[in-house]
C-alpha cells in the first residue's frame, strides 16, 4: 500500500492499470494473472479428471471412492479459484481506494 501511495503521489495521473503495470515491473504479484492461471490450468484439469473418473466409474472401471476423490479435488480447486477471485477483487478495491478513484476495471 505504501508503494502505491508513493507512486501515486509522484504520478497522480496514473490510473489503476498503470499502477498495476508499475507494480508488476517491480516484481510484485498481481492477482489477475493468478486468477487467469488457476482458471485456465487447474480448474480445467480438475474438471477433466472428474469427467474421466465419472465415465470410468459408470463403466465399472474404477471404484466409487476414486470418483469421490476426483470430486473432492475439483471442489478444492474451485475453492482456491474462488479465493483467488476474492483476493483479486479486494486488491482492485484497495488500489482504487489508494489512488482515490472508484472501482477499477
Residue 63's pLDDT band (boundaries 50, 70, 90)?
very high
Q: pLDDT at residue 22 above 80?
A: no
pTM of the model: 0.63
Average pLDDT over residues 39-45: 84
As a whole number of angstroms, the distance between CA 92 and CA 79 comes to 20
- Confidence (pLDDT) at 29: 63
Q: pLDDT at residue 104 above 60?
A: no
Annotate 79-93 with b (16+ C-beta within 10 A) or e (fewer). eebeebeeebeebbe
- Confidence (pLDDT) at 87: 81
Amino acid at each position: 500500500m505504501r508503494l502505491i501511495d508513493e507512486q501515486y503521489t509522484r504520478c497522480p495521473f496514473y490510473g489503476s492499470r498503470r499502477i498495476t503495470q508499475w507494480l508488476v515491473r517491480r516484481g510484485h504479484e498481481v492477482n489477475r494473472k493468478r486468477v487467469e492461471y488457476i482458471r485456465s490450468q487447474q480448474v480445467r484439469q480438475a474438471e477433466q479428471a472428474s469427467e474421466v473418473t465419472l465415465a470410468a466409474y459408470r463403466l465399472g472401471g474404477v471404484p466409487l471412492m476414486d470418483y469421490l476423490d476426483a470430486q473432492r479435488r475439483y471442489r478444492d480447486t474451485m475453492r482456491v479459484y474462488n479465493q483467488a477471485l476474492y483476493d483479486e477483487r479486494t486488491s482492485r478495491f484497495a488500489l482504487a481506494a489508494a489512488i482515490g478513484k472508484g472501482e477499477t476495471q
